[in-house]
Amino acid sequence: MEKDIIIIGGGPGGYVAAIRAAQLGAKVALIEADQIGGTCLNRGCIPTKALYKTAEIMQTLNKSADFGFQLDGFQLKMEKAQERKREVVTRLRTGVDKLLEGNGVEVISGKGSLVDSHTVLVTDGDGNTQSVQGKNILLATGSIPKRITNPGVDLPGVITTNEALELEELPKSMVIIGGGVTGIEFASILQSLGTQVTVVKYSPRILPPIDEEVIKRALISFRKLGFKIETGIKIKEIVQSETGLKVLAEGKKGPQDFAGEMVLLSAGRSINVDGLNLDGIGVAYDEFGIKVNSHYETSVPGIYAIGDVIGGQMLAHVASDEGKTVIEHIFGIETQINYDAVPTCVFSFPEIASVGLTEEETKKRGISYKVSKFMFAANGKALTLGEGDGLVKIIANEATHKILGVHILGPHASDLIHEGALAVTNGLTTADIICTIHAHPTLAESFQEAVLGVEGRAIHMLNK
């Protein structure tokens, strides 16, 4: 039986697209070589956040005296934390499996390879093959950890994030190569759990998508947490030392070296196109991603691609939204994604979240703007939580007062950012936020106070 949609890749882009297609009445085949949920569910977002919670509890225990507790002798049992992480992942993956089954999606285990614009050859783990025909094909194969090619990357103790998520015994020290979202998240987790971490990054600043002022403030918090960050570092090689490993590098002041029991490679991700036979059927791509048009259609009509494999913003929620958008286009429902309104979250200590334009991007686009900032140190709920570090920063159009960007450093930033995303997506003005009552005492009041500050009307801070 011919399918309406064949999807290669069962991650957050692929499985969401499959469910949306089934909702619209399509006959769907979803081909997955590993496990449903892809990198995000199995080796990325979810397991990382499970370990982040363990690290957060460790921080709370270390500060327990501030809340009136006297605790002695507690210790981390990493194997138990890993067991909990696996239980969370399994539970969520089982839930997705049931959703696919309940929506009538046929899941085929194996590696998919394109034969032509309507045919996919699937090879399972035993080498058996089957051919699947469909009217449309969607590529959602995601990305894989990028391995640097410097000498020494194959030494024992040099690991990727995949291996880092499975550690049952933490090293005393670790060098993390890469200061993007993943590198900073692992640095925060491992440092909180007792590993001395050094982050080294080639470019001059960490977390390049985030507003520069927010990063400068975050660096102060990271120093308090205890991990070191070195930027402008060019890696030469990794060598064995008496106590573990040593990263030899070139810095602003000449040769430098960084020692650690282990080295974590977190220098970004590469598109996962191995075995798809893109060259064989003429699908255009380069090292940055498969080429697609505004409807996510590739150079071969009837073959579409979404998510990490097309480059762009490599985020699970972007892949999911692209998956829904491309399926709706195939069925004649036209929707568009506003890439200026995609929230980005960094699960560090403290959390960082951002949506819309940064101050740097606003200047680059020549937009006249106003900025207002409200500190969590003046927010009652933040102080009761013992998390008064950080701020909410609002960027608004000077003429129209539309909210252009929201940037948060502080407690529960990843949850608070969605009011900002709603504002940026819908072109809300400062007046729209000001007239919305925010409950007290809540962290969300900081957002309203920052918006009030744009108008010079803030109550709990002095107005400029």
Query: Which residues does the annotation mark as catalytic?
Result: 440
Q: Is the dihedral of CA 403, 413, 461, 436 positive or negative?
A: positive
Are 233 and 194 spatial neighbours (Cβ–Cβ below 8 Å)?
A: no
Q: Give alpha helix (H) positions in 103-237.
A: 161-164, 181-192, 212-225
Residue among 315, 416, 345 nearest 11 (CA): 315
Token reading at 46: 């979810």
Full DSSP string of 390-416:
-EEEEEEETTT-BEEEEEEESTTHHHH
Are 16 and 323 spatial neighbours (Cβ–Cβ below 8 Å)?
A: yes
Residue among 21, 5, 300, 306 nearest 134 (CA): 5
Token reading at 325: 């958008």
Q: Which amino acid is at 423?
A: A
Q: Is the dihedral of CA 318, 321, 324, 328 positive or negative?
A: negative
Token reading at 298: 């590739």
Peptide bond into 441 cis (omega under 30): yes
Token reading at 137: 């094909």
Peptide bond into 350 cis (omega under 30): yes
Q: Is the dihedral of CA 240, 245, 248, 253 positive or negative?
A: negative
Give, for 308, the enclosing helix (H) or strand (E): none
Q: Which amino acid is at 287?
A: E
Are 190 and 174 spatial neighbours (Cβ–Cβ below 8 Å)?
A: yes
Residue 312 CA to residue 190 CA, distance in Å, equals 28
Residue 58 CA to residue 433 CA, distance in Å, equals 36
Residue 417 CA to residue 408 CA, distance in Å, equals 7
The CA dihedral of 223, 229, 230, 236, to the nearest 10 degrees, is 150
